[in-house]
Homo-oligomer: A and B are copies of this chain.
Amino acid sequence: MKIALVAPSCTLKQEAAELVAALAATRPDCELMIHPQCFLSDGHFAGSDEQRLGALREVMADESVDAIWFARGGYGSNRIAEAACAGLSPAAKRKTYLGYSDAGFLLAGLHKAGCEVAHGPMPQDILRDGGEAAVARSLDWLLTRDPRAVEPSLSYPAQAYNLTVLSSLLGTAVEPDLDGYELLIEEVSEHHYRIDRLMFHITGSANVRKVVELRVGNMSDIPDNDPVWGSDEEAIVRDWCSQAAINYGGRAIIGHDVANRVVPFGRKTS
């Protein structure tokens, strides 16, 4: 299996690339192709929009590539998502795409366009304390569809997103169709009042209200609220689900951490 790394958002750290390459080299039937675009830097991004889109399109069109693994998040994949997901070639459509966080803009668009996508750990996660296990989980899933890598409580066809990314997707050309799906969300580095506002926004959406259930993963590194918020993130999610008549399904093992499990996006059987 040939796995291509590109960075549609921010620049991949060289150290992370080396560690992931070493890890992949221990796996049978695993060829890792780290596109040089991963190391470009242009202001906030891993190269200009044109460079990031160009590298992504290049690996999407490459008949020898089986899977595309987004190198890391940050910010910026939304700037190229609509263009990347338009007019997909057969070669692009038969690939698997894996990432999370900011890469959710691409997961949404590519799933909508008919591709196999999954929410899961990315190469840059190897720099976290204990991150090799997270990255190994993504490799396990890409190489053998190892069920131990997958979020253990999926009951329905699922989609998973960072909460801010999902909020930003609503109403755009790459908004996912959530009707009939189990929706998993996670968040990082947002204040409680921002989580509350984001939950107001997504649960106000007619599309989100059609999910069969919503589960919440880790919401990590929440900055101190001033004044103290007075409840926690699960209470916020539960409260907004209740107000919008959305089934709240409990916690999920996804998030910006090393426990992050893979969530393969499903397909509704209609």
Contacts and interface: CB of A to CB of B under 8 A. Distances in A.
B193 A168 contact: no
Contacts of A196: 75, 79
Nearest to A231: B43
Contacts of A227: 41, 43-44
A201 B168 contact: yes
A206 interface: yes
B228 A171 contact: no
Contacts of A75: 193, 196-197
A204 B43 contact: no
In this complex, the interface size class of chain A, counting residues with CB under 8 Å from chain B, is 20 to 34
Given A78-B200, A171-B207, 11 more contacts: A43-B230, A44-B230, A167-B167, A170-B171, A171-B171, A171-B204, A171-B205, A171-B206, A172-B200, A172-B205, A173-B204
A153 interface: no
Interface of A: 41-44, 75-76, 78-79, 164, 167-168, 170-173, 192-193, 196-198, 200-201, 204-207, 225, 227-231
Contact of A225 (B41, B44, B170): B44
A172 B204 contact: yes
A147 to B, nearest CB: 35
Nearest to A105: B200
Nearest to A192: B44
Nearest to A240: B79
A4 to B, nearest CB: 25
A192 B197 CA distance: 20
A193 B14 CA distance: 23
A55 to B, nearest CB: 19
A200 B43 contact: no
B228 A197 contact: no
Contacts of A43: 227-231
A171 B170 CA distance: 8
A172 B206 CA distance: 8
A254 to B, nearest CB: 21
A163 to B, nearest CB: 12
Counting from the closest, the 9 A-B pairs by CB-CB distance are: A172-B204, A43-B230, A171-B205, A75-B193, A168-B201, A78-B200, A170-B171, A168-B197, A171-B171
